Amino acid sequence: MSSLLALLLVPVTGSIVAAIIQRYRLAERLVSFSTFVVTLLFLIDIRVGDAFTWSLGFLGKNIEMGLQITPLSIFMLYMTIAFGVLLTFFDLTERSKMKSFLLLLTLAASNWIFMATDFLSFFFAWELMGWASILAIFGGRRTAESRHGALYYAMMSIGGSYSMLIGIFLLSNLTGSFSIQQNVSYLVSIMTVHPWWVLGIVSMFFVAFMVKSGIFPFHTWVPYTYGESPDGFVPYLSSVMSKYGIYGFLIFLPLTLSLRNVPGVLGLPWPNYTLVWFGSITAVVGSVLAFMQDDVKKLFAYSSFSNLGFILAAIALFTPIGLTAGLFHAFNHLLFNGAIFITVVAVISKVGITRMSEMGGLWQKMPLTFLTFFVGIASAAGIPPFAGFGSKWMIFQAMISHGLIFATVLLFFASIASFLYLMRAFHAIFLGQLSHKYDNVKEISAIGKITEVFLIGALIFFGIFPGFILDPINSIVGSFGLKPLPTSGYEYINGFFSSVNMVSIFIVVIVAFIFGFLLFAVSAKHKKVPQEDNYTAGQIPKDWNLTPEMYQFSYDFYEPMDKEIAPFLKIKIDGFFKGFGDSVEYLGSSIKEIFTGNVQIYTYLAIGGLVIFVIAGWIVW
Amino acid sequence: MSEWTEIVDYFRGRSMWMLHYCTGCGAIELPPTMTSRWDMERFGITPMATPRQADILLITGYLAIKTLKRVIYTYEQMQPPKWVLGFGSCTINGGIYWDSYNVIERLDKYIPVDIYIAGCMPRPEAILDSFVKLKEMVQNGEAKGYEKYVKNYEWYKANQDKVLKRTKPVLERIEKVTKIG
Amino acid sequence: MVIVEFLIKLSQGFGIGALALATGLLFGGIARKIMARIQRRYGPPFTQNFMDLFKLLSKGSVSHGWAFDLGLVAGFVPMLAALMFLPIGPFTLFPSDSSLIMIVYLMMMAYLGMAMGVLASGNPNSAIGMSRALMLMAGYEVPFAAVIFSIYFFSKTGYLTQIVAMQSGGFMNWNIVKMPLGFLAVEIVLQGMLGEKPFDQAIAPAEIASGPMVELGGKYLGFGMIQHSVALFLETGIIVDLFLGGAPNFWIFIAKQFVLYFVVVLVDAILPRLRVHEATSFFWKLPLFLGILQAVIVIIQGGVLNV
Ligand code: SF4
């Protein structure tokens, strides 16, 4: 099928063009935007079941490779490409140092990942995606730090890739084939005979996926890397790229279906149970660390992998409701995280700093950005009728239906903690006193406004009509051999314990709001006062030289809480990786001395290294 | 319309929230007024924390010029309808501070006072009496000090400026003291 | 036809809203009276809260801009919306839509709106108050989650209407008998949810000038009062539905709510205020222990659900 190949070739072509014309900023951006659009157009006439195969002769061996579309892959493709369209559109007027050709290369790689039918191309695409994203991180705001962040990420990725590579070769040694389907069904067949073998091999793969998604204990790179990567790239990194790990998990999770009759914990096979715990711990660790953060990008980096923890916990159950909830949350996370990060990027581009305690009061200057952010955090907090409510609600039901009391309480705590850090960011960035430094700050450009309006619309639309997403998810659930949840119209979410009609909630909220504003209008008049006219316990602000910065409380917002959670923070997970990282940093600085920091050279180096790496693996095998 | 105003006035009289500005010695009479012995809450009067929430501003006793400045600021932060109670002889004619160089003598030269409570210091009964009196005045639509203030603002402002120009900023070289970082 | 139905629902919704608001205000007034009597005072008339609300709505106020207005309206409106899904006695406006978690999250929207409004005022006292309120929330929502878990797992449904229906047929069927530990946990949680002593750090009037409410006056404070009253009705109402078997009619429903609230008021009258982090960690100790113990008992009793 030619359009399957087009999904790979169009981004690669676009990438080459963008690389050539990268001096001309606007043209480069336009190329990247139009490439995404063209890819999306090709995607539209692709259907489930489309396939394409070719074979590769290498060292006298004939290796079957192929592309295939499954319900899950088409879902992932749509999420990736549609979000990319939005992001590149937003980026047309942004001036971050993101390299578009790397983004397009990532797109090609991710399309390949989702379509690959054999581990060889899966691995190659995975590496391509990894390296392209690592290089994209290099162009951060602060050069030295972003290099450090990229190297940290590179180190973790390489670790994951090694692990995955060993897994692939072990498996293909056993089966003599690279095909994903054959290997997985082979694993199913030996599941009952050699469970430890299967576990060993599968966890080799899972390390790579956990690294990519930032699942505990491999979450440590996420804040460093997100915090330092180029502003335009962070939304893609956190909304889209973290989902690749989830795709990987879903390749292997059907294995556990054959364990359903073996006694486990609370009717759940113990591999699932363990993964649920990994997910829940990730969710809690992410949320707790997030509300101690002052750097806005880092805060939402923590938030991002915390949500990945929710998704993992839900899909790890591998029940119809769990899987539905997890995939639904993956989609909602894409939307609200995109909204949050895009507004954050907009704010950073206007105020020029990332420290939240130095912002404040920006709602007066950037009203639409403020509203988008508000809708974004309301969705992230799972508030109806916005998107995000349905999936969180389903995750809780999925957890409760299995009687996983501790994991449920942990996830609930993570959800409340997320409310805390979202409010803190909301307050520190947009509310409170507006510093005079920002008197000249303006709302973002028209293109940015269009993106924001679109995001608000999407968050509300998919909140009210979740069926448009639940339908494809149901077909995914069916394709895994599970019984999909019942559907009853686009406005319903059917959970395990109850169902909710989102339209009726929406109408009730709207009517209540109309009533609220009527009450507001008929009660006594108010007087609009400037922010200086504020309660100061009788002191006259001028006499005390009171500046807005002094009258803004946002630094160390949850200070009393630190006392309670300080003991948990003492457990330094990244201590281990730090020691490792120091040596990598040394390596990095010696590389830096050889090269001048030119990204192209890194690209060639990386691709060359990759080829050597693959060939070496081949020969050893 | 006048029936509506009457209803509104009736409820305003039954629910008055008070901000007490306690610089004078009379503040000591307020705790018994609020608590079990005299219990002012039975008239719907509750102490409040900030001027935005309050209806009554109770000035307990003498006001130095520097505190007058704060009182005026606080009074202007309150929203109409608002009433001022001058408590103690000091607010009426300076009391024992009548010849002091830095204490004002008559409060209603600077902000409109609705009711004065005479005495040095007045007993809680007197305070409660003034509350009841204020309630009646509000319900009859007589307590309109805040309107007087708006109408005669120039006069009040001139009086305020005349004394306030004798104050110096609390801190000299404020920039130096309150510098951040 | 649809329009007529809509209008009927609308008027019923208004009725529910008005009743809940009136009940909440009345409870507040009675609580003030009880408090006064405990302190050997005469106390205000029990209709005092109505007069206060009326006065507030007719009093002038200051606004700090549209985010302030929007936030404060959004602070009480979702509470009213959540109320529409609560089974009140035999009556439910949307019988097929009374999912417990949904109501809880709708209430969360009210807190979000309130927070946005008061923080837009730009006063550090309100920010401190808000941070305290949120920290307290991180405390009490955790044991509450454990209780929700037990209820869901035990009743095998998430609809409040069905949970109520399962408890019909006498006192021995009530969840308070079947899950006493969970009830105990939720009664402690209620104390925190309503922000009564010892958990009233957020609005400490003497230290942080009434916290979130510092810049609110007039109608804005009135909105805050509406929010508090409706939240009072909603939270006690949820517990009545969950543990006290709902009610055959509205009056019994209110009576049961009042019993719950009465305990809260008594505790409020005798305890001083805790420090912020002490309050949060308190919820992570005793109530959470009770809630989890209850959940474990329920799991052992009920076994695994058939998924
Ligand atoms: S009137 Fe008397 S008691 Fe009151 S402040 Fe003046 S001197 Fe003190």
pLDDT, mean of residues A60-79: 80
A165 backbone φψ class: left, alpha, beta (φ>0; ψ -120 to 50): alpha
The Cα–Cα gap between A420 and A417 comes to: 5
Does the CB atom of residue B90 touch ligand 1 within 6 A? yes
User: Greater confidence, A61 or B142?
Assistant: B142
C58 interaction partners in chain B (CB closer than 8 Å): 8, 11-12
CB atoms within 10 A of CB A458: 20
With cut-offs at 50, 70 and 90, classify the pLDDT of residue A9. Answer: confident
Nearest to C128 by CA among A424, A460, A265: A424
For residue A592, is pLDDT > 80?
A: no
β-partners of residue B103 are B64
Mean pLDDT of chain C: 85
Q: By the CB < 8 Å criterion, does B32 face chain C?
A: no
B171 interaction partners in chain A (CB closer than 8 Å): 543-545
Does the CB atom of residue B107 touch ligand 1 within 6 A? no
Q: Is residue A591 part of a domain?
A: yes
The Cα–Cα gap between A212 and A229 comes to: 16
For residue C45, is pLDDT > 50?
A: yes
Q: Is residue B61 part of a domain?
A: yes
Which residue bears the tokens 């307050």? Answer: A427
Residue to probe by mutation, ligand 1, list B20, B62, B96, B106, most atoms within 8 Å of CB? B62
Nearest to B30 by CA among C209, B83, B38, B86: B38
A539 interaction partners in chain B (CB closer than 8 Å): 70, 73
Q: Which of A76, A105, A137 is the last residue of a domain?
A: A137
For residue A81, is pLDDT > 60?
A: yes
For residue range A189-209, list pLDDT tens digits in order.
777 777 777 788 888 888 888
For residue range A158-190, list pLDDT tens digits in order.
878 888 888 887 777 777 777 777 777 887 777
pLDDT, mean of residues A497-501: 77
pLDDT, mean of residues A298-311: 86
CATH number at residue B147: 3.40.50.12280
Supply the pTM of this predicted model: 0.88
Residues above pLDDT 70, as percent of chain C? 98
HSE-CB for A53 with a 13 A CA cutoff: 9
**Is the Cβ pair B15, C40 closer than 8 Å?**
no
User: Greater confidence, A524 or A334?
Assistant: A334
pLDDT, mean of residues B50-62: 87
Q: Which domain holds residue A68?
A: 1-137
Most confident of A144-148, A179-183, B12-16: B12-16
Q: By the CB < 8 Å criterion, does C124 face chain B?
A: no
pLDDT value at residue C202:
81
With cut-offs at 50, 70 and 90, classify the pLDDT of residue A412. Answer: confident
With cut-offs at 50, 70 and 90, classify the pLDDT of residue A588. Answer: low
The Cα–Cα gap between A321 and A393 comes to: 11
Q: By the CB < 8 Å criterion, does C63 face chain B?
A: no
pLDDT value at residue A620:
47
For residue C304, is pLDDT > 60?
A: no
Distance (Å) from the alpha carbon of B174 to chain A's nearest alpha carbon: 6
For residue A619, is pLDDT > 70?
A: no
Nearest residue of chain A to residue C278 (CA atoms): A564
pLDDT, mean of residues A274-282: 85
The Cα–Cα gap between A359 and A321 comes to: 41
Cα A351 to Cα A114, A537, C295: the distances in Å are 38, 31, 49
CA of A380 to the centre of ligand 1 (A): 58
pLDDT, mean of residues A118-142: 80
Q: Is residue B180 part of a domain?
A: no
pLDDT value at residue C306:
47
Residues above pLDDT 90, as percent of chain A? 0
Q: Which of A118, A137, A156 is the last residue of a domain?
A: A137
User: Greater confidence, B85 or A292?
Assistant: B85
HSE-CB for C216 with a 13 A CA cutoff: 29
pLDDT, mean of residues C176-199: 86
CA of B23 to the centre of ligand 1 (A): 10
Bond prior to A269 in cis (omega within 30° of 0): no
**Is the Cβ pair C122, A534 closer than 8 Å?**
yes
Number of domains in chain B: 1
pLDDT value at residue A31:
84
Q: What is the dihedral of CA A566, A572, A574, A577, to 10 degrees?
A: 160
Q: By the CB < 8 Å criterion, does C181 face chain A?
A: no
Residues above pLDDT 70, as percent of chain A? 87
Complex-level ipTM: 0.90
pLDDT value at residue A126:
85
Does the CB atom of residue B128 touch ligand 1 within 6 A? no
**Is the Cβ pair C74, A363 closer than 8 Å?**
no
Q: Which of A137, A155, A183 is the last residue of a domain?
A: A137
For residue A363, is pLDDT > 50?
A: yes
Nearest CB to C122: which of A397, A432, A519? A432
Nearest CB to A544: which of B69, B73, B174? B174
pLDDT value at residue C307:
44
Nearest to A306 by CA among A288, A286, A278: A286
- Ligand 1 atom nearest the C-alpha of B121 is 3
Pull the structure tokens for residue C46.
């029990």
For residue range A526-570, list pLDDT tens digits in order.
888 888 888 888 788 877 777 888 888 888 788 777 777 766 665
For residue A596, is pLDDT > 60?
A: no
Q: Is residue A133 part of a domain?
A: yes
Distance (Å) from the alpha carbon of B85 to chain A's nearest alpha carbon: 18
For residue range B83-123, list pLDDT tens digits in order.
998 888 888 888 888 888 888 888 888 889 989 988 888 88
Nearest CB to A416: which of C142, C158, C305? C142
Q: Which domain holds residue B81?
A: 2-164
pLDDT value at residue A406:
83
With cut-offs at 50, 70 and 90, classify the pLDDT of residue C194. Answer: confident
Q: Is residue B48 part of a domain?
A: yes
For residue A614, is pLDDT > 70?
A: no
Does the CB atom of residue B65 touch ligand 1 within 6 A? no
Residues 22-41 of C with CB under 8 A from A: none
**Is the Cβ pair C58, B35 closer than 8 Å?**
no
Mean pLDDT of chain A: 79
Q: What are phi and psi of B26, to 5 degrees?
A: -65, -15
For residue range C70-122, list pLDDT tens digits in order.
888 888 888 888 888 888 877 877 777 778 888 888 888 888 888 888 888 88
Strand-pair category, A61-68 with A51-58: antiparallel
For residue range C244-255, list pLDDT tens digits in order.
887 788 888 888
DSSP H helical ranges for B15-140: 30-34, 65-77, 89-93, 124-139
Q: Is residue B77 part of a domain?
A: yes
Residues 72-91 of B with CB under 8 A from A: 73-74, 77, 79
Cα C256 to Cα B19, C242, C251: the distances in Å are 37, 12, 9
Does the CB atom of residue B96 touch ligand 1 within 6 A? yes
With cut-offs at 50, 70 and 90, classify the pLDDT of residue A266. Answer: low
With cut-offs at 50, 70 and 90, classify the pLDDT of residue A595. Answer: very low
When scoring C33, C34, C55, C221 by the number of chain B Cβ atoms within 10 A, the one with the most, hence best to mutate, is C55
The Cα–Cα gap between A417 and A58 comes to: 53
Q: By the CB < 8 Å criterion, does C180 face chain B?
A: no
Q: Is residue B178 part of a domain?
A: no
For residue A579, is pLDDT > 60?
A: no
pLDDT, mean of residues A368-382: 88
Query: Which residues neighbour A26 within 8 Å (Cβ) at sequence distance 6 or greater?
Result: A92
Q: Is residue A378 part of a domain?
A: no
For residue C173, is pLDDT > 50?
A: yes
pLDDT, mean of residues A98-107: 80
pLDDT, mean of residues B6-19: 87
The Cα–Cα gap between A491 and A499 comes to: 10
Contact indicator for C232, C28 with CB cutoff of 8 Å: yes
With cut-offs at 50, 70 and 90, classify the pLDDT of residue A597. Answer: very low
Contact indicator for A102, A96 with CB cutoff of 8 Å: no
When scoring B9, B10, B11 by the number of chain C Cβ atoms within 10 A, the one with the most, hence best to mutate, is B11
pLDDT value at residue B171:
65
Q: Is residue B170 part of a domain?
A: no
pLDDT, mean of residues A574-578: 53
User: Greater confidence, A151 or B108?
Assistant: B108
Pull the structure tokens for residue C302.
């009920």
The Cα–Cα gap between C214 and A535 comes to: 7
The Cα–Cα gap between A314 and A229 comes to: 29
For residue A358, is pLDDT > 80?
A: yes
